[in-house]
Amino acid sequence: MILRRSHLAAGHLPLLPIPLLWMILALLLPATTPPMCHGKTVGPSDPLQVQLQPEQGLPEPRAYMPDAQHLDFVYHDHEELTRFLRATSARYPNLTALYSIGKSIQGRDLWVMVVSSSPYEHMVGKPDVKYVGNIHGNEPVGREMLLHLIQYFVTSYNSDQYVKWLLDNTRIHILPTMNPDGYAVSKEGTCDGGQGRYNARGFDLNRNFPDYFKQNNKRGQPETDAVKDWISKIQFVLSGSLHGGALVASYPYDNTPNSMFQTYSAAPSLTPDDDVFKHLSLVYARNHAKMSRGVACKSATPAFENGITNGAAWYPLTGGMQDYNYVWYGCMEITLEISCCKFPPAYELKKYWEDNQLSLIKFLAEAHRGVQGFVFDPAGMPIERASIKIKGRDVGFQTTKYGEFWRILLPGYYKVEVFAEGFAPREVEFVIVEQHPTLLNVTLQPSKRIEGIGAVGPAGIGPGGLGVGGVGGVGVGPGSLYRPIQTPQHYRPPVPPYAGAASNDNGIFSTISNGLNSLYSNIFG
């Protein structure tokens, strides 16, 4: 039957089959139901549309919707990634700086974007932090999350108080992809397996760093060497490495001093800063939409209590990046496994952003927890490369050329030991509180030289004392233009346990161990 305009004018509808009648009404009546987004109703009560509930102090970061003209929830190849970063740097020159730390084997730039209210100059007294994504080429969710994090920061700086505070007091370095060659050969929708995991020479980059527990004889790769050089030049305080294949925050140590036959027993390998690493992992897991529930990705994979795990307790590995950051440079890095599927379909990226946005931001703010300060000589000049160690925590760190230092610590009473060539060592007590960082300035006195004996000096606590201050610390000296420059080697770790012993990486046992490690890694993260 034909529906004529005269029927409508007369105020009645002809008799029609019910399904056809509903179709006509749907076209004529205005839509009243909120639109669906990948199976989820988006309406006034949806967290994407409302301000997140603030806590004490600054409000929480606001939820974010991307500008589709600049960045959508799709996977971006290297050319598209490069265009986005360059366009963002040009559009927000006061908040961003783009630089390359090197090139991959196939010549792709390893781009890093600084996001800060001082992108080109170091802010004296304020920490540098970093995120590294896509170290395994077939785990690209982190790569896309970091691009959206960059856009969120620059578009929210003037409207989000939390973001403004973070960027005014922190320099955030973001390396979206450490393995662009591996990504180029990976396939969307592949949840398991190793295609694209490795670099163009077939090396796992997260097994390619020097290791504290075992001699790592694997040949260094350009991507790994670039990252090693990068973190030797900037005193990073906090770092996160984004992976896929599980849903957990994993913290050092990744390796263990046990023999090969004990390697695959689930035994934790704890750092002297285990309390801090657990706290940092919980900050990420608890701000994540699902991670802290500790639910296994699938029946054959482990579940993690509170969504966190010690790396070696999960499965040990040699040559990992997070152990290297911590032992060699005192940078507290954790590994963030953020997707059960290594390379999920692009339509799921929006949901991954909703799950991870708050975690990615709140984790970086932890760089402002603990103690920060300066080491001076009696004339008030900064002492560069002074060695610092929290007593009872044997992994140390060093001051910058401005005499700055930072250490993430939980509330409590501590002693810090400070050493510098030509100066008498000092030990200073201080207190950490929850509400704000402790500002601790230490003045070292020159060593006294006695004929035939060498340099000695008085022990104990001298001038300098303890001060408590807010974020931002003390401004000392002018800032210099930020471009990484070659500096002397930072803190060198203690002599590793394997020194003087035969290498564990040779022969048939090494082959078996590496094969098991590779199989486990391909299944999980």
Catalytic positions: 337
Q: Tokens representing 174?
A: 């973001």
Residue written as token pair 């301000």? 51
Name the phi and psi angles at 172, rounded to 5. Answer: -105, 120
What count of residues does the chain have? 525
Q: Tokens representing 190?
A: 């592949």
Q: How far apart are CA 237 and CA 509, in angstroms?
A: 37
Q: How far apart are CA 520 and CA 170, in angstroms?
A: 37
The residue among 491, 487, 269, 500 whose CA lies nearest residue 395 is 491
The residue among 490, 330, 477, 495 whose CA lies nearest residue 416 is 330
H or E element that contains 112: strand 109-115
CA angle 477, 483, 486 (to 5 degrees): 90
Q: How far apart are CA 326 and CA 239, in angstroms?
A: 10
Q: Tokens representing 323?
A: 């152990």
Report whether 84 contacts 111 (CB < 8 A): no
Report whether 258 contacts 147 (CB < 8 A): no
387-390, strands of its sheet edge to edge: 397-398, 387-390, 412-419, 426-432
Q: How far apart are CA 218 and CA 216, in angstroms?
A: 6
Report whether 142 contacts 338 (CB < 8 A): yes
Q: Tokens representing 489?
A: 């080697």
Q: At residue 218, what is the residue type?
A: K
DSSP calls for 372-436: EEEEE-TTS-B-TT-EEEETT----EE--TT-EEEE---SEEEEEEEE-TTB--EEEEEEE-SSS
3 state DSSP class of 118: coil
